[in-house]
């Protein structure tokens, strides 16, 4: 493992501009780096007022961006793979990771379709589609023994899923008045374990940042 600060990670800024903001994609990348023992230098970007110089770093203006010194990686999934290949121990390629990715990869899009929907006639159908998707993941966790997607060790699939379920449970409870996320036993055990883990706490941000970020969809 490595503890040196040799990389720069451009990340969404918190509302006060002094810490990490509510970006699940940045947290995905940051989790992989943190699990590998790598502490980057954080450069916080106000996504509502992006500085001109940032577009020279990433013309698309999106975060995260990892500057390794040799290249700039602008996709969170690619940052995870970089971390895994550069620092192979501890591995994130746990047995069953591919299946876990397959099971969990659609949940954020399905939830977003329900949460952002403005057509009342579609609400029930979209809610049921989300519950079905969540139940699929819950059943997988229960059958797999948990507490995480591939057992007791972090995997690539967890770096992908953990930040998303953090957003989902906060938004569902606050804005949609749906408490069912935390009532499914496999999902509850997952959240209890992961949200209290050191990597998640080191890369996380308060729920109020999430709610502020999603407020535009419910105004």
Q: Any idea which residues carry the catalytic annotation?
A: 23
Q: Identify whether the C-beta of residue 42 lies closer than 8 Å to the C-beta of residue 78.
A: no
Burial class (CB in 10 A: 0-12, 13-18, 19+), 180: middle
End-to-end C-alpha distance for the chain, whole angstroms: 45
Q: Where are the beta strands (DSSP E) in the chain?
A: 8-12, 41-45, 65-67, 72-73
What are the angstrom distances between the C-alpha of 77 and each of 2, 65, 80, 128, 154?
20, 11, 5, 29, 15
If residue 39 lies in a helix (H) or strand (E), which one and from where to where? none
Residue among 113, 212, 216, 93 nearest 155 (CA): 93
Tokens of 28: 């995905």
């Amino acid at each position: 493992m490595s503890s040196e600060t040799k990389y720069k990670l451009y990340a969404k800024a918190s509302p006060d501009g002094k810490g990490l903001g509510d970006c699940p994609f940045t947290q995905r990348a940051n989790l992989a780096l943190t699990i590998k023992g790598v502490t980057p230098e954080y450069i916080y970007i106000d996504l509502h007022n992006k500085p001109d110089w940032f577009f020279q770093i990433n013309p698309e203006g999106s975060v995260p961006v990892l500057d390794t010194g040799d290249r700039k990686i602008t996709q969170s999934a690619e940052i995870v793979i970089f971390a895994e290949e550069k620092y192979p121990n501890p591995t994130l390629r746990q047995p069953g990771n591919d299946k876990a990715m397959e099971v969990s990869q659609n949940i954020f899009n399905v939830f977003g379709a329900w949460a952002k929907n403005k057509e009342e006639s579609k609400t029930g159908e979209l809610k049921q589609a989300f519950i079905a998707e969540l139940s699929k993941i819950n059943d997988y966790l229960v059958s797999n023994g948990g507490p995480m997607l591939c057992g007791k060790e972090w995997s690539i699939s967890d770096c992908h899923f953990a930040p998303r379920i953090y957003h989902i449970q906060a938004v569902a409870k606050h804005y949609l008045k749906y408490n069912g996320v935390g009532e499914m036993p496999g999902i509850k055990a997952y959240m209890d374990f992961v949200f209290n883990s050191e990597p998640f706490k080191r890369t996380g941000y308060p729920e109020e940042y999430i709610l502020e970020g999603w407020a535009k969809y419910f105004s």
